[in-house]
A and B are shown apart, each in its own frame.
Chain A
Amino acid sequence: MDQNPKQYPVSDPASDPLLAPGRRRMRRAAVLSVLAGLLWPVQAAVVAWAVGGLLTGADASALKAVLLFGGVGLLRVVLGYGAEAQAQAAARAVVTAARARIVATEAARTGESGFGGAGSLTALAVEKLDLLAPYVTRYAPARARVMVLPLVILALAFWQSWAVGLVLLVSGPLIPVFMALIGLAAKEASARQMAEIGTLNDFLVERLSALVDIRLLGAGDAVLGSFAAQAGDLRRRTMAVLRVAFLSSTVLELFAAIGVAMVAVYVGFSLLGALEFGAWGGAVSPEAGIFLLLLAPEFYQPLRDLSAAWHDKAAADAVLDEMAAWQDEPRPALPGTGGPAAHLAGPASIALHDCVTPSGRALPAIAIAAGERVALVGGSGAGKTTVLRLMAGLELPDQGRVIVAGQPLTAANADGWRARLGWMPQAPHFLTASLRQNLTLGRAGDLEAALRTAGIADAVAALPQGLATRLGETGAGLSGGEARRITLARAVFGAPDVILADEPTADLDAATAQIVADGLLAEAARGATLVVATHDRALAAQMDRVIDLGHLA
């Protein structure tokens, strides 16, 4: 991932297509929120009338004042509630649409994202996307209020007293200038903080999967130490973001406080008769004084709301940039959908013509007939895994052709081809689900028979919870040989026409390796085509044919 925030494109969240799902509701929220804000001057007028009445001795009715003030207040609350409902709905729509996009994209591509590991990506999809919600619910309505309310209040202030209007007019525009400056700093600090969160998550995910190694190597203290250092770094970056945010709101508060104090002092002096200028008729009336005092803080309030939400915007900016960085990355698409499909008709044969490895090394032509048993051998990097992935239709070749069941493998028939496969990867990842679900993966079939073929039925029966056991991600809870035989059972479950196995006997003792080999051979005896990529000569010797992919020069 690009760690340098300066290279991120400068974007305006408001126009980002990711926000499109919430845009209409955001507009409605803005309108309602402005309307609610416009009711405050009405309430202020009621108070001014009531208190002014007390001073001048006019017989103002307390009940009338309470009802008017309360009634308008109720209306304001209702409008605010509506605005919030719209904004929250918009935020939910935006976040959930972005999540759906991440899930759909990750399910449609093969290969790891250069953006980061599962930890980084999950952090983006969960915690970071959540940061878009405050932008939608707080920043966007505040921005709408800033456009309207200060102008309205300024007009009202000028109507009552040009001096007060002038105070507001002068102090108001300074605020956006300061905020723009501070906002620039905030975004950069935010982007650095985001990057740090992703790195820390990846650091942790790796260490948490290696707890036993860490313990055995006596590396616990060292790991804790470097985690403490990284966490400290993240805290400092977070505080840098917060400091800027707090500073911006403090600057604003200062301006607002000075403005309000000036208005209060001017109005006070004017009411005492010490100042004879500023209002259109000489000095301000008591009613106008109260009215102005109540309006002055509200002149600054939208700006303060906006500034309080400024780091929501900075965070949203940073998240949108990360989303863009993740999306822009070109990755090969998964041929087909990865969903269930009807079996592709034709013989269970596979051929590769003129294909190359990702590093550009040419692969030999390979033709495997239905029912054949073939070993792929060759040094590291010779392309054994690439060949298996091409055969499995997990990737389409950049060059050359893959022929399966007598027809070229394409995105259109990849699902149907894969439906005929059994697949034994080198390093299995067990899902957060029961062993049974990990074995069947939603398919129907004879599980007992598959477990027996893989020679694992007794070991599974001996597990404390049997097939309901939940395993660790890499199969912790089973021995290495047992975990391998589970992937074999998963591969033979459903009686596939073709079995592709990547190093099926690596890291197994001779007896266990033979159990796995026997399981694979039993499938071949049933008529399945068998392709194993292997270093294991004993296994290769049991195949009909060995294809040597050679060694890297």
Chain B
Amino acid sequence: MTALWAIFRLILRDQRSALLRGAALSLLVLVMGAALLGLSGWFITAAAAAGLAGAGAVFDVFRPSAMVRFLALGRAAARYGERLLTHDATLRALESLRLRVLAALVAAEYLRMIRVRGAQALNRLTADIDALDGVPLRLMLPLIAGVAAQLLALAVLWILVAPVVAVWIVAGYLVGAALIFGGMARVAMPLSRRAEVAAQAFRARLIDLIRARRDLAVYGRLTAQAKDVMAAEARGLDLRCQLDQAERRAGAALGLLATAVAAGALGIGMTLVQAGRIAPGFAALGFFAALALAETLAPLRRAVADLGRMADAARRVRRDLAQPLPAQPLHTQPLPADTDGGTDGASGFALRVSGVTLHRPGTSLPVVSGLSFTVAPGETVAITGASGTGKSTLLLAIAGLQPLAAGQISLGGWAVADWPEADLRAGLTLLPQRSTLMAGTVAEALRLAGPAEDAHLWQVLAAVQMDGIIRERDGLAARIGPRGEGFSGGEARRLALARTLLRHPRILLLDEPTEGLDDTTARAVLQGVRQLLPDAALLIAAHRQAETAFADRVLALS
């Protein structure tokens, strides 16, 4: 519940004025509805009484009937305005919430980033945040407006009709509704939470089935996976069944409450009239107002059915938002300019690694210890070593994605940690061991690195020896399937390399850049990279002769 409240406050902060106006309008709608029905009932009864008494000629018919028309039209208009306003405000608030969650993911720590499973993160961004629309629309605003309308009715009925009628109606509704909702929330909250878990399981398993269906088919596991998917659905179905029942029961209880309150208002009114304490018209007013006030309960019914789902989603979204963002460097001194890069004088940045010790990501097992070396602008250095000796971890650390256990890494004279993120990414690029191309055209995939002219795209494609292959297809408009499908491993690798070249980094880190390529192509690709970036400091995690032969210097890790 605290998470729900926190999310509501976030939404409110985002769209305060629209939501407040919306709340005012929804109160207006309820009040006008009650007034309309109450006034009509009074009007007809009082008119009948006047007619029977022969006083029809002196009875003021015009003001009440004008009021009836005004209330009828005003209510419809207020309702339209209220719906547009609150829905638009809620959608806007959710949109900015979604953006904040995505921003938190994009800026997350490396370890968390690689563990993100598309399906789960997608859930967070779509289903979870969608579930939150009920927080203002179906929970908070109707609750606020409903309680306010009831209290207003208490005052009005107290004065116009009789305190006993007013208390019966309002206390009946408020106490009855509180009991029903309290009881239902206790039943429904855990149920809808579990139903949501089942839905997430269904989703994750279905994505697995679709993405891995060939593997699953070969291993005779496809039917079992389909069964697992449907098992999650069966579990969800059972829970939805129980939830439906709880919701239905609450609905029936609310229906009974409305009937009981209205019947009581009728009976009390009749007794008062028969005792000569009030006029028949006011007894009718009380009864009709009781009927109209039942409307304050209706929207809350669904809210309670969804409460568990909302609370759960709110908790997860809040946790995502609360993830610490990487600390922003504090210093505001100007960064080294292009030409006087640190102490090296050339137009480029030197990379300096001194006494660095690293742990395997997520563990405290040392992989690199006390390593020191320098790469000057324009120089190419290859690091070699068997799988698991920490080549990739070292490159990640230089790129600022992996914390150092000891030592220092500096770029152009500044420690990596001191670089503001945007400047660091502008000056340094890493081609990681596994990079993902996105579905779309080749041009779109490359332009993830930033806006670039077509000619520029062709230039980097030529550097990685991909221009011919791309030209043979549909040129820059050639389609890449989801996860780089349609291109071989080596081609996808070179496209990812071309993408990093578009950044024109001054320090370029390449993690096994020429895999999947034959020796001739591998050498040509490396030549192409160097020609395009003559002054860049190049550091290559190398494992093949073509790469080490290309380097000016080889550094062996053990």
Contacts and interface: CB of A to CB of B under 8 A. Distances in A.
Contacts of B483: 209, 427, 474
B259 A74 contact: yes
8 contacts: A47-B266, A70-B259, A125-B203, A217-B500, A254-B76, A462-B365, A472-B115, A475-B434
Given A65-B266, A228-B99, 15 more contacts: A73-B256, A73-B262, A118-B206, A126-B199, A212-B432, A235-B95, A247-B80, A290-B44, A338-B220, A418-B219, A477-B362, A480-B433, A482-B387, A503-B516, A508-B387
Contacts of A537: 518
B255 A80 contact: yes
Interface stretch (A142-150, A165-173, A266-274, A316-324): A266-274
Contact of A122 (B206, B273, B421): B206
Contacts of A432: 117, 119-120, 204-205, 208
Contacts of B119: 118, 122, 205, 432, 473
Contacts of B490: 506, 535
A269 B47 CA distance: 7
Contacts of A201: 122, 126
A216 B222 contact: no
B173 to A, nearest CB: 15
Contact of B126 (A55, A123, A220, A477): A123
B237 A464 contact: no
B503 interface: yes
B94 to A, nearest CB: 8
A89 B245 CA distance: 10
Contacts of A104: 226
Contact of A473 (B50, B117, B259): B117
Contacts of A479: 387-388, 392, 433
A264 B113 contact: no
A419 interface: yes
Given A247-B80, A432-B117, A232 B95 contact: yes
A253 to B, nearest CB: 4
Nearest to A339: B223
A107 B365 contact: no
B222 A334 contact: yes
B127 interface: yes
B218 interface: yes
Interface stretch (B12-20, B100-108, B529-537): B100-108
Contacts of B214: 110, 389, 392, 394, 423, 425
Interface string A101-130: 011101100101100011101110111000
Interface string A355-395: 00000000000000000000000001000000001001010
**Which 10 interchain pairs have the tightest Cβ spacing?**
A509-B543, A338-B222, A218-B425, A73-B259, A257-B72, A339-B223, A476-B114, A272-B56, A286-B48, A66-B267
A213 B267 contact: no
Interface in A245-296: 246-247, 249-250, 253-254, 257-258, 260-261, 264-265, 267-269, 271-274, 283, 286, 289-290, 293
Given A103-B229, A125-B206, A213-B436, A441 B219 contact: yes
Nearest to B105: A211
Contacts of A419: 220
Interface stretch (B83-91, B148-156, B179-187): B83-91
A28 interface: no
A509 B221 contact: no
A215 B488 contact: no
A92 interface: yes
B138 interface: no
Interface in A519-537: 535, 537
Contacts of B245: 85
Given A50-B270, A81-B252, A217 B425 contact: yes
Contact of B92 (A207, A235, A392): A235
Given A92-B237, A99-B233, A222-B450, A473 B216 contact: no
Interface string A415-428: 10011010101111
A481 B543 CA distance: 12
B79 interface: yes
A23 interface: no
A184 interface: no
Contact of A340 (B73, B114, B220, B258): B220
A69 B258 CA distance: 11
Given A54-B274, A219-B450, A477-B114, A459 B388 contact: yes
B317 interface: no
A62 B267 contact: yes
Contacts, number: 485
Given A92-B237, A92-B240, A213-B432, A423 B72 contact: no
B331 interface: no
B163 to A, nearest CB: 18
Interface string B415-456: 000000110011001101111101100000000111000000
Contacts of B319: none
B516 A506 contact: yes
B59 interface: yes
B2 interface: no
Contacts of A264: 40, 43-44, 65, 68
B323 interface: no
Nearest to A252: B76
A338 B216 contact: yes
A218 B419 CA distance: 13
A68 B126 CA distance: 50
Interface string A63-85: 10110011001101110110011
Interface in A405-453: 415, 418-419, 421, 423, 425-429, 431-432, 441-443
A477 B205 CA distance: 20
Interface stretch (B279-287, B337-345, B369-377): B279-287
Contacts of B59: 272
Given A264-B65, A290-B44, A507 B267 contact: no
B73 A76 contact: no
B126 A290 contact: no
A211 B105 CA distance: 8
A63 B266 CA distance: 10
A103 B206 contact: yes
Interface string A524-553: 000000000001010000000000000010
A297 B500 CA distance: 68
A84 B203 contact: no
B246 to A, nearest CB: 11
B42 to A, nearest CB: 10
A261 B260 contact: no
A428 B215 contact: yes
Interface stretch (A5-13, A156-164, A174-182, A236-244): A236-244
Given A55-B52, A432-B119, A126 B203 contact: yes
Nearest to A258: B72
A227 B104 CA distance: 14
A14 interface: no
B202 to A, nearest CB: 7
B114 A55 contact: no
A70 B260 contact: yes
Nearest to A508: B515
B215 A429 contact: yes
B489 interface: yes
A259 to B, nearest CB: 9
A267 B44 contact: yes
Interface in B276-314: 280, 283-284, 287
Given A51-B283, A54-B273, A77-B252, A261 B106 contact: no
A214 interface: yes
B526 interface: no
A103 B117 contact: no
B99 to A, nearest CB: 6
Given A209-B118, A213-B435, A535-B516, A268 B209 contact: no
B217 A338 contact: yes
Contacts of B213: 106-107, 110, 334, 338
